[in-house]
Amino acid sequence: MLSRASGRCLLHQGRRYVYAASLSTQTGQKVITLDNMNPQVKKMEYAVRGPLVIRATAIEKELEAGIEKPFKTVTKANIGDAHAMGQKPITFLRQVLSLCSMPSLLEDSSFPEDAKERARGVLAGCKGTSLGSYSDSPGIEIIRRHVADYIQQRDGQPSSWEDIILCAGASEGIRSIMKLMVQHENGIRPGVMIPIPQYPLYSASIDEYDLHQIGYYLEESTNWGLDMAELERAYTEAKKVCHPKALVVINPGNPTGNVLPRENIEAVIKFAHERKLFLFADEVYQDNIYADGCVFHSFKKVMKELGEPYCHMEMASFMSCSKGYMGECGLRGGYAEVINLDPDVKAMYLKSISAKLCPTTLGQAAMECVVNPPRKGDPSYDQFISEKSAVLSSLAQRAKMVVETFNSVPGMSCNTVQGAMYAFPQIHLPPKAIEAAKAAGQLPDVFYAFQLLENTGICIVPGSGFGQRPGTYHFRTTILPQPEMLSTMLEKFREFHTSFVKRYQ
């Protein structure tokens, strides 16, 4: 029997969802209230950690307290947290971090020499040779140099270490660049073009910084392709209400799992150049390519190979240790390569990040391992390659498993997951289910997701949290649960969807 409990504690305000809370009577007026606080903070949302996750956490506590449910555990398929879903750390990476954190282990013969070499290099770049010291605001110089070497080897194009900014995950790097654009001209806001569906970091940051969101729809019928006519439509319409200033591309795609072909990237670069748009290239899933015939092309490489005048465009690209084969989300390591900035603007940018002192040095050390892994002939090489290949091979198998399952369920359809860590299936909801959602004060995909959570323990993110074409309903799920857990999750999905549709026919 499907539960109606999902909406009890949720108040619906347009597209905002706020949990009701009991308020204790207090004397005196608070300095910061809902009426006088920053309105942009109230406006921003972050769907992957929204009300569904709050409810999922509450259900976990209910299960711990012995409350009976139709399931034993909660499966949090809402966020790309690989280790939380059972992925094991890469040995070499953790060895280097251990050595950096406790240098006395450098005398331990059980650690391989190449891991010690990396640790010594990181520590030599730290003030006082300690990871506990502040680094320069853009990061430890030797690691920035190794990032530039990595990019140069990847692209076959020069990279300057002075253009590399280490950051606490790619998210912080993205936000620090976007913040530079907060300048209203005659009351008109700058606009940022983002794909729809999009990763909610972008919509949340745009709201927080009081920018204007320009959504361009990806084409579901062509495996979430980026259509240039749609890009032009979005830009032309947005010019009526804002000053378009930046274009964001996520490749491989989140939440869509698409991988852009080179000709598409070339067209996007030419589009951005013609309209004087700053390019954000979110490339954190560059190692996660699964589908036959798909290849990762960095925006910088393509831009440089196009030559004049495109090679002089302003662009920032982003990478992280949270994704790929590493999955080290909690370490908060990442980098931005920021090229062709006006020198005066770059100086202001470096000043702005200095206010945060520096990114976590442990995250910086993690990025050292990502960009400077064991090389052939090193003691750790064989184990490293074996672990890396096993993770990516398993993810490829799980990507196929998810798509095949969803496409076999009546009332669901799912594009090929070409890359990244997610599937974004479409669900076809009966009219009565849409009416029931309206009566519950919820959007239809939100209603569906809460019902799924209450009846199966599976936590997903409704498509409305990422954006979708009007009249369509989707959800995002990760492909990260380990194969046995994923198989169980998908079978629960099949049973739930069949029961849900039957109930509302």
Q: What is the pLDDT of residues 393-448, one digit of tens each?
A: 999 999 999 999 999 999 999 999 999 999 999 999 999 999 999 999 989 999 99
- Asked if omega into 431 is within 30° of 0 (cis), the reply is no
Structural domains in the chain plus CATH codes: 5-86+390-503 (3.90.1150.10), 164-358 (3.40.640.10)
What's the count of helices (H) and strands (E) in the chain, helices before strands? 16, 16
What's the token pair of residue 355?
Answer: 């206010």
Question: How confident is the model at residue 43, as a pLDDT?
Answer: 61
**Measured torsion, CA atoms of residues 152, 153, 155, 156, in degrees rounded to the nearest 10:** 80
Q: What proportion of the chain, given as a percentage, has pLDDT over 70? A: 91
Q: How far apart are CA 498 and CA 99, in angstroms?
A: 52
The pTM of this model reads 0.85
What dihedral do alpha carbons 176, 327, 58, 456 form, nearest 10°? 130
DSSP 479: S
Q: How many CB atoms lie within 10 A of CB 152?
A: 13
140-150: b or e for each residue (b if 16 or more CB lie within 10 Å)?
bebbbbbbbeb
- Residue 321 backbone dihedrals phi, psi, to 5 degrees: -90, 0
Q: Give the C-alpha distances (Å, rounded to integers) separating 399 from 74, 206, 421, 474, 502.
A: 21, 31, 8, 17, 28
C-alpha R_g of the chain: 24
Give the amino acid at 258: N
CA dist., res. 143 & res. 125, Å (int): 8
Encoded tokens for 202: 């972008």
* Residue 39 in this model has a pLDDT that exceeds 70: no
Parallel, antiparallel or unpaired: strands 16-19 and 10-13: antiparallel
In 3D, which of 79, 76, 111 has the Cα closest to residue 92?
Answer: 111
Q: Residue 260 and residue 294: Cα distance in Å, rounded?
A: 8
What is the rounded distance in angstroms from the CA atom of residue 369 to the CA atom of residue 355? 27
Query: Do residues 55 and 452 lie in contact, with contact meaning Cβ atoms separated by under 8 Å?
Result: no
Contact criterion met (CB below 8 Å) for 258 and 399: no
DSSP 8-class letter at 491: H
Q: What amino acid occupies position 71?
A: F
For residue 224, CA distances in Å to 22, 250, 307 come to 43, 12, 28
- pLDDT value at residue 21: 43
Report in angstroms the alpha-carbon separations of 31 from 37, 80, 249, 469: 9, 37, 40, 41
What does the DSSP 8-state code read for residue 26? -
The confidence band for 153, taking pLDDT boundaries of 50, 70 and 90, is very high
Mean pLDDT across 18-45:
59
Q: For the residues 315-330, what does the mean pLDDT come to?
A: 93
Hey, which residues does 195 pair with through a beta bridge?
216
Q: Which of 35-39, 172-176, 226-230 has the highest mean pLDDT?
A: 226-230
The Cα–Cα gap between 84 and 327 comes to 9
- Phi, psi angle pair for 381, to nearest 5°: -60, -50
Residue 10 backbone zone (phi > 0: left; psi -120 to 50: alpha; other: beta)? beta
Give the pLDDT band of residue 391 (cuts 50, 70, 90): very high
User: 31-53 burial, b if ≥16 CB within 10 A, otherwise e?
Assistant: eeeeeeeeeeeeebeebbebbbb
pLDDT attached to residue 141: 95
Q: Which residues of 83-98 are buried (b: 16+ CB within 10 A; e: fewer)?
A: bebebebbebbebbbe
pLDDT value of position 16:
43
**216-234 confidence digits (pLDDT tens):** 999 999 999 999 999 999 9
**pLDDT digit string, tens, across residues 194-219:** 999 988 889 888 988 889 999 999 99
Q: Which residues contact 111 (CB under 8 A, 6 or more apart)?
A: 95, 98, 99, 105
pLDDT above 70: residue 9: no
Q: Which residues pair with 334 in a beta bridge?
A: 167, 320
Query: Residue 178 and residue 317: Cα distance in Å, rounded?
Result: 12
Find where tokens 């109230």 sit: 42
30 vs 320, more confident: 320
Q: State the chain's mean pLDDT as an integer.
A: 89
Single-letter amino acid code for the residue at 175? R
